Structure 1
Amino acid sequence: MLNIGDFASHGRVSVRMLRHYDAIGLLTPARVDPVTGYRSYEAGQLARLNRVIALKELGFTLQQVRTVLDEQPTGAELRGMLRLRRAQLAAAIAADEQRLARVEARLRTIESEGNMSQHDVVVKPLPSVRVAQLSGVAASYQPEDITPVIGPLFEELCRRVAGAGIEEVGPAVARYEDAPERDGSVVVLAAVQVAPSVRGGREDFEVVDLAPIEEAATIVHRGSMDGSMGSIQALARFIDENGYRSAGYARERYLECPEDVAGWVVELQEPVSRR
């Protein structure tokens, strides 16, 4: 019989870990002194301890380790568990490689510009929201063509929504689509978020549900949208340097819009997919 210290030393684990394994029923001592509470182990139990350590190193949880050791799954079941673990590890490696690519891209930017970029891009999903919207057409997607169209659209939309007694429940959103003429012009859609209970079928404005977006590269722009080209270009560089491709026009989510446009805060949200 080996006392807990010697058993821990032979198994290359800590005494604290052995006590934990005992507490969860994963590896119980061969004998516990009823008076002192001292734990003793048989040398043969080292084989089970070694299997515990080996399975843990493969990334299995202690509950999964206990299942493998106690329930003795069939070969097919064990292969299934190992394939699942392989898939989990592959996904983790892919995620780490993506993070590494973003770090390297940021490092290149810092090295070329001499300082930390002020543009931070975050990739995230966008949920579905219900909006009231009006549409118009701009000559191009350039800020100087968008601004004269989007401003009056939002003013008219807000007037109509308020006149209908409908409350805005979230930030305004601007969206864009290719115009049917395909001459470089774009359809401009000014939207305000409304409650899910608001129904469509209105003549004064449309009520639609914006489809969720699985992945969008997002960046926060501060100031007038006439000066948004720097943010747009930073977003495009991130998408190109991090293995993404654009999947459509960016949305603009207006987070703060004081009278002085220099104080505007707008999140650009561009749908993306992996190349």
Structure 2
Amino acid sequence: MLKIGDFALLSKISIHMLRYYDEIDLLKPAQIDNFTNYRYYDETQLPIANRIQALKRMGFSLTMIKQILNEYGDTNSLEAYLELQLSQKNEDLQALQRQITLLKNTIQDLKNSNNPKSFDIAVKEIPKRNVISCRSKLSWYSQEGELWNRLREETKELNVQFASPSYDIAVIYETDSDNKVDVEVQQSVVGTYPDTVHTRFKKIPAILVAALTCEGGYSQLEAVNDELSHWILENNYDLCGNIMNIYHISPKTQNEPEKLLTEVCFPIRSR
């Protein structure tokens, strides 16, 4: 039998950790003296200690290690644990590589600009929503307000309960050959509602976006779009949907253009 200090030296596990392993039933002493409470370990427990150390080096948590040791004799089960851990570590590695790329690009932005936008770009999920929407082809983007007016007029008799937040969103579709601007405006609602002449009720799935919020008039949106396009390209994402503008503060409630607040969102996916 080995005293806890000797077992610690042989196993390369500290006395503190051996006591903790005892508390969580991961590696219990072979014997505890009833009078002194000294812990003693058997030499045959060294392989178990080595397994614990090996699994820790692979990144397994102590909870998982305890579960694995209970099934250690089952080769198929052990292989399944290892495959799952390998898959998770590959995902972690991809996330780390993305963080490194983001750091490098942001540092470069700092060198190239006194006011880089990289710090303000967020990757977030817009949740799934029920919406009422109105879509039309316009001659100019400035005509978008007509769609919002049409949406309000045609739904005011429906006693619509708007969600909170309401996600007042304009979706910009690709411009077709006749140079018309294809725009859809949406508001999130609670419940379901019938379609009207020009408005539709529909369900929108959750979507991952790169988002940049800008304060002020809409004339700056083109520059914001360029900034987001550059950021997506440099950070190994692909655009996978239609650009959206979320109007957090809009002319509906604010008459001063410099106080408007718009969040431009590009749907993205990892390359």
Q: TM-score, normalised by structure 2?
A: 0.88
| CA distance in 2: counterparts of 1:47 and 1:249, whole angstroms | 57
In the alignment, structure 2 segments of 5+ residues that lack a partner are none
Letter matched to residue 183 of structure 1: D
1:256 aligns with 2:249: yes
1:205 to 176, 196, 199: 199
* 1:7-59 residue CA offsets vs partner (Å, 9 max, x unmatched): 22332222221112112222111211112322122233222211111111112
Partner of 1:142: none
What corresponds to 1:247 in structure 2? 240
After TM superposition, the runs of 4+ consecutive aligned structure 1 residues lying more than 4 A away are none
Q: Which residue is 2:127 aligned to?
A: 127
Q: Structure 2 matches for 1:159-198, cutoff 5 A?
A: 159-169=153-163, 170-178=166-174, 181-195=176-190, 197-198=191-192
Structure 1 residue 118, shift from structure 2 partner: 6.5
Contact 2:154 2:196 in 1 (8 A): no
Aligned: 1:272 with 2:268: yes
What is the DSSP-based 3-state SS (H/G/I as helix, E as strand, rest coil) of the residue aligned with 2:269?
strand
Give, in angstroms, the shift of residue 91 of structure 1.
1.1
Q: Name the CA shift for 1:242/1:98 in 2 (closer, same or farther; >3 Å).
A: same
CA contact (8 A) 2:133 2:185 kept: yes
2:9 corresponds in structure 1 to 9
CA distances 1:178-224 after superposition (whole Å, capped 9, x unpaired) = 35x533322111221111x22233336221222332x3211112111
Larger deviation, residues 100-109 vs 249-258 = 249-258
Give the distance between the partners of 1:236 and 1:98, measured in 2 at CA. 17
Number of residue-to-residue matches in the alignment = 266
Question: Which residue of structure 2 lines up, in the alignment, with residue 83 of structure 1?
Answer: 83
Q: CA RMSD in A?
A: 2.1
How many Å separate the matches in 2 of 1:269 and 1:192? Answer: 16
- When normalised by structure 1's length, the TM-score is 0.87
Q: Which runs of 5+ in 1 are unaligned?
A: 140-144
| Structure 2 Cα separation of the partners of residues 246 and 269 of structure 1 | 10
| % same residue | 25
Residues in 2 aligned to 1:70 and 1:206: alpha-carbon distance in whole angstroms = 57
Distance apart, 1:119 and its partner CA: 5.4
Alpha-carbon contact 1:125-1:212 (below 8 Å) kept: yes
